[in-house]
Amino acid sequence: MKLIKGLGKKIVNLYNDLSDADSSWTNRRYDFYLIFGSTDELKAPWIQTNWKRDFQPYFDLLLKQVNNSNGTGIRVDKFNLERRVSKNNNETFVYHAPIKVGRLKWDEKSHEKWTVSDNSENYFQRFELWSPIWTKCERRDIPPEIYITITNQRGFQNGCKIEFGYFMVIAVAKNLNIDSKSILKELSEKIDSKATIFKTRRWGKPEKFGDWTFLNWIQDTYMVLYKEESLHTFDFNSLEFQPHWEVLYRHT
């Protein structure tokens, strides 16, 4: 019996090793995290002081463990609030003009460019990081080793009801053998996230487990995940994470 159990364990380990070695867009396996951030606007990660003190150090720990950290690329959507006058009725309105920040890398100069001094200066919408940069991933025909997005949950008009202020998606390729779980648990404690959850997921495989549904690739992880509705339509405390997710941290 012990021999059979030992053989079975070896087969399982071999299967996992082969799965982790598959780097295709469809099958590459990741440590996959969702972080639900505070609704306190003063704690937003795109505010420069918050980013440098509370977020950047932990992502540094992840990125410094991969060989291509210097080839990391960042894309950001943020807007300048401009008061304009309508030609039709001569009324004033606020126009959100896209801000061009140029090419962004993982360095201090780029962090200065994409972050904001406070939430009244600009409207920040989305941050996206690929390591290596997406163009290199396309040339190599493999998904990134590390992928991170941060999305502002407040709309342009800042009037919608939200259950969490920002939404973070973090994916770390399993074959990197990085202890990302302890790093992101520590980050979550530092920022006191509303919740941080974890599971293993393939980059390009749609998945459904319980009330949770992922229709597309990891880079397409948006709000319609739970019971096929926006997460903001539910009381956050009513969301059922377990047994499908491992809860790394939850605000109490």
Give the pLDDT confidence of 134-177 residue by residue, as tens digits. Answer: 999 999 999 999 999 999 999 866 667 899 999 999 999 999 99
pLDDT, residue 125, reads: 94
| 219: helix, strand or coil | helix
Percent of all residues in the chain with a pLDDT value above 70, rounded to a whole number: 88
Give the pLDDT confidence of 72-97 residue by residue, as tens digits. Answer: 999 999 998 777 878 888 778 777 78
Secondary structure letter of residue 99 according to DSSP: P
Percent of all residues in the chain with a pLDDT value above 90, rounded to a whole number: 65
pLDDT, residue 3, reads: 60
Q: Does residue 18 register a pLDDT over 90?
A: no
pLDDT, residue 10, reads: 44
pLDDT, residue 16, reads: 47
Q: Could you give the C-alpha distances from 1 to 13, 33, 170, 242, in angstroms and in order?
A: 18, 38, 41, 33
Tokens for 12, please give them. Answer: 């399982």
The span from the CA of 17 to the CA of 174, in Å, is: 10
The span from the CA of 9 to the CA of 145, in Å, is: 27
Q: Does residue 1 register a pLDDT over 80?
A: no
Mean pLDDT, the chain, integer:
88
Q: Does residue 8 register a pLDDT over 70?
A: no
Number of Cβ within 10 Å of residue 145's Cβ equals 26
Read off the pLDDT of each residue in 92-105 and give the average, rounded to a whole number.
86
Per-residue pLDDT band for 14 (boundaries 50, 70, 90) equals very low
pLDDT, residue 92, reads: 81
* Residue 157 phi, psi dihedral angles, 5° rounding: -85, -10
Closest CA to 125 of 75, 77, 73: 77
Q: In degrees, to the nearest 5, what angle opens at C-alpha 191 toward C-alphas 186 and 193?
A: 95
- Strand pairing class (224-226; 166-173): unpaired
Tokens for 158, please give them. Answer: 């800042």
Read off the pLDDT of each residue in 44-59 and give the average, rounded to a whole number.
98
The span from the CA of 145 to the CA of 174, in Å, is: 9
pLDDT, residue 156, reads: 66
Q: Does residue 66 register a pLDDT over 90?
A: no
Contact between 119 and 158 (Cβ < 8 Å): no
Contact between 112 and 48 (Cβ < 8 Å): yes
The span from the CA of 117 to the CA of 226, in Å, is: 34
Tokens for 130, please give them. Answer: 């690929």
Q: Does residue 195 register a pLDDT over 80?
A: yes
